[in-house]
Amino acid sequence: MLVVMQHGATAKEIDRVVSVIKEMGYEARPMPGAQRTAVGLVGNDGRVDASRIEALPGVASIIHVTQQYKQVSREWRPENTIVDVAPGFSVGGSDVVIIGGPCSVESEEQIVRAAKIVRDAGATALRGGAFKPRSSPYSFQGLGKEALGYLALAKCETGLPIVTEAMDEEGAHLIAEVADCIQIGARNMQNYSLLKTVGKIGKPVLLKRGMAATINDLLLSAEYIIAAGNPNVILCERGVRSFDPAARNMLDLTAIPIVHRLSHLPIIADPSHGTGLRDKVLPMARAAVAAGADGVIIEVHPEPDRALSDGAQSLYPDQFGALVKELRAVAAAIGREVPPTPWAAAHRNRAVSLG
Ligand code: PEP
Ligand code: MN
């Protein structure tokens, strides 16, 4: 860390910075320049609280040389992390995974129908919210525990692994019994006690970027999960709030190559929440894969016009089927592959063993 002093900072002010750094247990190296002096902080183990120094008289700014996060960084682990969620569902290698399903689980019939649509389209996993974080307390809040039973049934019927969101610690433990991957939604990205809980549970976590979170904030949240003992973290770009109401959010596809450079963790994209508009989901999903996303998570509903949440951004079943085909082509063009659906893989293995 570098403490840049103001032009004209006095020797007394520089000495004070030096002594505070020493009091904090680090070495201080003043570097006088033609215009101003900088004081280097040596021995930074990534946990320096800069706020104590920032407010001292004569300090102009602080430059962080090392990142605030450690275990999520590429420096810590140069090779990509591959999160093995379930057989046929690995994220971060050459596969481009497709997670599809409705925003919310609405009934047993609806989620089983949705699961069959997702399976038949050739996607990798089923999504569907049991506990829903809705902006209004009067909107459909999800079926809760009841929905977890329906998700388990949909998995049984189709063989698709399950991704579903935990909103609190109690829910996280319940979800862990059913889901293959626990989603932490945008609104909870900085719910640090929940992050620690899913860190301790140890199941793969899909961590969505908060709607006003920087990439640094996202990586620090991932660090919480890893620091609590769970290295199986998949990041997700789901759009950030912008000044422009033309789309629900602004899908920040630049985050994908940036995260890939800064971190070894996989990152997928959510063009459904990222755009909020059904017909914009298709081009942005293709763009996300082209930009290097390790997968996409897409809302699809058997009858979007009747959906209890996010109907406007949910694809019709035939649109989802066409999109999966297109994503296979985009992935192939960049030397990657959408894996065969775990159901197809299971059937192939069965055919081989029978044959
Ligand atoms: C969701 O996946 O349905 C959801 C609520 O997403 P987000 O947390 O990104 O808004
Ligand atoms: Mn949704």
Using a 6 Å cutoff on CB, does residue 186 contact ligand 1? yes
Q: Is the pLDDT of residue 354 over 60?
A: no
Using a 6 Å cutoff on CB, does residue 103 contact ligand 1? yes
pTM of structure? 0.90
User: Where do you find CATH 3.20.20.70 in the chain?
Assistant: 83-348
Using a 6 Å cutoff on CB, does residue 99 contact ligand 1? no
Lowest mean pLDDT among 5-14, 27-36, 45-54: 45-54
Looking at the structure, give the CATH architecture of the domain made up of residues 83-348: Alpha-Beta Barrel (3.20)
Q: What is the pLDDT of residue 68?
A: 83
Using a 6 Å cutoff on CB, does residue 133 contact ligand 1? yes
- What is the 185 CA–ligand 1 centroid distance (Å)? 5
User: Where do you find CATH 3.30.70.1140 in the chain?
Assistant: 2-63
Q: Is the pLDDT of residue 46 over 80?
A: no
Most ligand 1 atoms within 8 A of CB, residue of 163, 184, 238, 298 to mutate: 238
Query: What's the burial of 44, exposed, middle or buried (CB within 10 Å: 0-12/13-18/19+)?
Result: middle
Q: Is the pLDDT of residue 139 over 70?
A: yes
Q: What is the pLDDT of residue 264?
A: 98
Say yes or no: domain 2-63 is CATH 3.30.300.30. Answer: no
Considering the chain, what is the average pLDDT of its residues? 95
Confidence band, pLDDT 50/70/90 cuts, at residue 185: very high
Confidence band, pLDDT 50/70/90 cuts, at residue 69: very high
Ligand 1, atom 8, residue with closest C-alpha: 185
- Residue range 204-250, pLDDT digits in tens: 999 999 999 999 999 999 999 999 999 999 999 999 999 999 999 99
Q: What is the pLDDT of residue 348?
A: 60
Q: Are 301 and 115 in contact (CB under 8 A)?
A: no
